[in-house]
Structure 1
Amino acid sequence: MSDFDYDLFVIGGGSGGVRAARTAAATGARVALAEESRMGGTCVIRGCVPKKLMVFASNFPREVENAALYGWDADVGDFDWPMFRKHLHAELDRLEGVYGTMLRKSGVEIFPTRARVTGPHEITLADGTVKSAQHILIATGGRPVKPPYATKDLGLVSDDMFDLDTLPKSLLIVGGGYIGCEFACMMAGLGVNVTMYLRGGQILNGFDEESRGLVAEMMRGNGIDIHTGTSVVNMDRADTEHMPTAGGSDAAMGAPVGEDVTDRTETPGGTGSIWVKASNGREGVFDRVLFATGRAPNTEGMGLAEIGVELGRRGEIVVDRYSQTSVPSIYAIGDVTDRVQLTPVAIREAMAFTRTVFLGEDCPVDHELIPSAVFTQPELGSVGLTEEQARETHDIEVYATSFRPMKTAFIDRPDRTMFKLIVDKETRVVLGAHIVSEGAGEWIQLVGIAVKNGLTKEQFDMTCAVHPTATEELVTMSQPRA
């Protein structure tokens, strides 16, 4: 019998931490887990799940409009945000309960409290209780951060968006990454007037240039006012001193010039109307401002540096390919390591950790060719190298097509779909695939299987097309782009 209280102590009850605790317990290990907030972590409570449900909700007005153009007597009424929010939180409560039940059934002891690491094998809980473990796993995830403005507390972060009492009429989103773009599309679909400021020249930095350009064009077509090369230089509560003067504003920037903002009701997570001045000189008043300006690893106050755990410049835990830190008994997985910030990746890191530490297998984490999706409208699915990345290291051919899909072309909608394959000219291996379309998130999962397994362009083409579908283009693009 070990001299330690547990074989494994997990700090963090998100998807990665829970998976590691359950799989380790299944090997016969004595496992405990501490979570100071809600079981399920960012993905279940504050990220993927509530966000995707909001995506579904925001799509219905467009679907009803399409139905009317197809001949149905269809009309969409007002959106009942309080009803949706109540149903949403009931679902999150259910999922949180499921996570707790799974842990208990696996024999994991749960501590609903904050935990700090106070030694290579020692964990101290918030009430001062000290526990010991042969192995410690940090899976505390990350959190959204705000820019260092003096008035930053006037703005929201993504966590706040699911708790608003009422939907704003106007929303400024600062940041053009996947979180900012997804919320822009969601809120616009729910009827909110959305403006975006991003410092760079295009949304979705790091994704395929052509793909993100098409997404941006479609977002603008859906009424989202995107301003590139733009940042906030000042923001404050809206009042007579800060209200824009006639001719110095644009209605698309928020509330129209001269709108009475004195009677607006403040709600939790918000502060009433907010005046914003941008770096391009534009001024506007918005009901809410959302900062989608990045995330930071949750390592503050955990005592890690004090016991010798190496941290990176952003506070992330530095680990090797087995998720082991500079202290051999301590491991870390998920967003807290700032490797790949995706829930399925954290789960795979958890499983690799268990196989390595408790089953004795040589199981490094595989971070190559991970499919991803951005749930904008339209969606963007991506796996492998972008065209820009591939050109730096390979002699490539690019196969691409963009067209109006049958579903919306029939009713004369401007929607466009794009499929793109990046192919190594010598080996013919498909190095990357990029899809912009309704349902791209579903499709890229399947395409990812082929790319992950190194299929060639000719092997793609050997597969018979399914007609009439949009995805048949994946196996019928015969000529590379000049």
Structure 2
Amino acid sequence: MATFDYDLFVIGGGSGGVRAARISAQHGAKVALAEEYRMGGTCVIRGCVPKKLMVFASTYAEHAREARDYGWDLKEGAFDWPMFMGKLRAELNRLEGIYRTNLEKPGVEIFDARATLEDAHTVKLSSGKLFTAKHILIATGGYPFLPGETPGIEHAISSNDVFLLEEQPKSILIVGGGYIACEFACIFNGLGTETHQFYRGAQILRGFDDEARGHIAELMRERGIDLHTGCDVAEMKKQDDGRIWVKGSDGRTGVYDQVLYATGRKPNSHGLGLEEIGVKLGRWGQIEVDAYSQSSVPSIYAVGDVTDRVNLTPVAIREGHAFADTVFGGAPTKADHDCIPSAVFTQPEYGSVGLTEEQAREREEIEVYCAAFRPMQKAFIGREERVLFKLVVSAASRKVLGCHIIAPGAGEMIQLAGVIVKMGGTKEDFDRTVAVHPTMAEEIVLMKQPVRTA
């Protein structure tokens, strides 16, 4: 019977890998984890956490303007980028320390090194050390994709680089139309940077509800973002003053302090030695796994963005926990990827759970309940910005198949609505619920007549 150095060796110290390592160790396994950059992965170091803190920072200028309209005697100042970045980096250091502590408590051995695979049971560290493990878990996440064929692409930055900028750009071009691109467009616009956005598609936020996509695009433009759809970057050149000249595919030109590409992410599987030992990869490098996160090589598992299933931090955590319970906890567990709530932290936010109107109508007959209106807080001071509440309902079962909210705090609201949709709640369940008045959210239980059927 073979003996191994570890029961489990985890490659990647992000949310999914750390959860899998910690729970496996709590189940009694001997566990090691290798991380080549910083503990915490994309979410903590260069994704959700720093981005959300930037979202918070970017909202206060508008809050101050609204406060004056409400009667407060406030003077608007400038955003102190160096001060904020200093506090941000200190917070990320604190969170990284917590991740390390949470691994060390149950006895996980940590290696600050790059790890690759020698064979189905052997890991090689960049230090040259070799270790064997009965099971190996790949949790290396994803990386920002920049199109290498674009002339001058070397002058652009990715979303990873935003948190390393020493100065706030006075102007920025953001390339892309997904949630990362739209969030950063709103962030920089809110911080006072002149913000432009190119997206080659017909409408931003592909894959989300069409009506919601159009609503957000309209609001972004109203807030001052120079958003151009059907437009891509044709070429870029760096000028003598350090700024970047850009020519668009539609012929327009502009000069910007920074060009940020947010054109998607790819699974971070390259160079790990996976293909050499027979692990099956998909077209974009994603590790193909079954419902229990097991790859084509029985001793190799994978969770999180490197599998390209549902690329969200809470999903990676669920997958990592399910893996640990399955392999070391004696409780085979599949991660549930159905009906996952999510939020896009634009301004205002977009929260969604379940099906879009387009997806639902392909499956069955539906009713659509929708309301767009100026909320009390905005209407009182003459703001035209509208919120949107939308329910997609099965005509036959009456179940709410999808819920979509565009409003301040939509991310908080959709978490609660997600429970109802996940439980299979019906439109009549919403109707029976008494409204909380006066709130924006009461609209979700007040929409009595469908605006259309399909």
Which ranges of structure 1 fall in alignment gaps of 5 or more residues? 240-261, 263-271
Aligned to 2:395: 425
SS at match of 2:157: coil
Q: 2: CA distance between counterparts of 1:361 and 1:94?
A: 34
Return the match for 2:381 from 411, 435, 440. 411
SS at match of 1:435: strand
Answer yes or no: is 1:227 the counterpart of 2:236: no
Aligned to 2:167: 166
Report deviation, 1:2: 6.9
Identical counterparts, % of pairs: 62
Aligned to 2:420: 450
AA of the residue aligned to 2:437: H
Matched-pair contact (CA < 8 Å) for 2:22–2:108: yes
Report deviation, 1:157: 0.2
Aligned to 2:431: 461
SS at match of 2:436: coil
Matched-pair contact (CA < 8 Å) for 2:151–2:234: no
Aligned to 2:193: 192
Answer yes or no: is 1:291 the counterpart of 2:258: no
Aligned to 1:45: 45
1:266-307, Cα deviation, whole Å (9 max, x unpaired): xxxxxx200111111111111110001111111111000000
Which ranges of structure 2 fall in alignment gaps of 5 or more residues? none
SS at match of 1:276: strand
AA of the residue aligned to 1:18: V
SS at match of 1:302: coil
AA of the residue aligned to 2:385: D
Report deviation, 1:427: 0.2
Q: 1: CA distance between counterparts of 2:349 and 2:239?
A: 35
Aligned to 1:179: 180
Q: Under a length normalisation based on structure 1, what TM-score does the superposition of the two structures give?
A: 0.92
SS at match of 1:173: strand
Report deviation, 1:238: 2.4
Answer yes or no: is 1:377 the counterpart of 2:378: no
Report deviation, 1:76: 2.1
Q: 2: CA distance between counterparts of 1:461 and 1:348?
A: 32
Aligned to 1:30: 30
Aligned to 1:278: 248
1:141-161, Cα deviation, whole Å (9 max, x unpaired): 001021112421100000111
Aligned to 1:435: 405
Aligned to 1:243: none
Matched-pair contact (CA < 8 Å) for 2:237–2:244: yes
Q: Under a length normalisation based on structure 2, what TM-score does the superposition of the two structures give?
A: 0.98
Answer yes or no: is 1:398 the counterpart of 2:399: no
Q: 2: CA distance between counterparts of 1:101 and 1:351?
A: 18
Q: 2: CA distance between counterparts of 1:198 and 1:150?
A: 17
What RMSD in Å do the two structures reach over aligned CA positions? Answer: 1.0
Q: 1: CA distance between counterparts of 2:123 and 2:165?
A: 36
AA of the residue aligned to 2:210: E
1:375-432, Cα deviation, whole Å (9 max, x unpaired): 0001000001000111111100001101000111110111111000000000000000
AA of the residue aligned to 2:164: D
Q: 1: CA distance between counterparts of 2:45 and 2:147?
A: 24
Matched-pair contact (CA < 8 Å) for 2:435–2:446: yes
Q: 2: CA distance between counterparts of 1:132 and 1:234?
A: 48
AA of the residue aligned to 1:61: A
Q: 2: CA distance between counterparts of 1:122 and 1:131?
A: 6
Aligned pairs (5 A) from 1:45-444: 45-148=45-148, 149-238=150-239, 262=241, 272-444=242-414
Matched-pair contact (CA < 8 Å) for 2:293–2:302: yes
AA of the residue aligned to 2:329: L
AA of the residue aligned to 1:56: F
AA of the residue aligned to 2:199: L
Report deviation, 1:163: 1.2
Q: 1: CA distance between counterparts of 2:182 and 2:191?
A: 14
AA of the residue aligned to 1:119: D
AA of the residue aligned to 2:283: R
1:115-145, Cα deviation, whole Å (9 max, x unpaired): 0011111111112211011110000000102
Matched-pair contact (CA < 8 Å) for 2:178–2:204: yes
AA of the residue aligned to 1:91: E
Report deviation, 1:355: 1.2
SS at match of 2:169: coil
Q: 2: CA distance between counterparts of 1:137 and 1:110?
A: 14
Q: 2: CA distance between counterparts of 1:217 and 1:199?
A: 17
AA of the residue aligned to 2:197: M
AA of the residue aligned to 2:160: D
SS at match of 1:293: coil
Q: 2: CA distance between counterparts of 1:192 and 1:222?
A: 12
Answer yes or no: is 1:481 the counterpart of 2:451: yes
AA of the residue aligned to 2:281: L
Report deviation, 1:234: 1.1
Alignment length (residue pairs): 451
Report deviation, 1:359: 1.6
SS at match of 1:9: strand
Report deviation, 1:75: 2.1
Q: 2: CA distance between counterparts of 1:84 and 1:373?
A: 24
Report deviation, 1:460: 1.3
AA of the residue aligned to 1:368: D
Q: 1: CA distance between counterparts of 2:121 and 2:47?
A: 32
Report deviation, 1:308: 0.4
Q: 1: CA distance between counterparts of 2:329 and 2:101?
A: 24
Q: 2: CA distance between counterparts of 1:39 and 1:362?
A: 28
Matched-pair contact (CA < 8 Å) for 2:400–2:426: yes
Report deviation, 1:360: 2.1
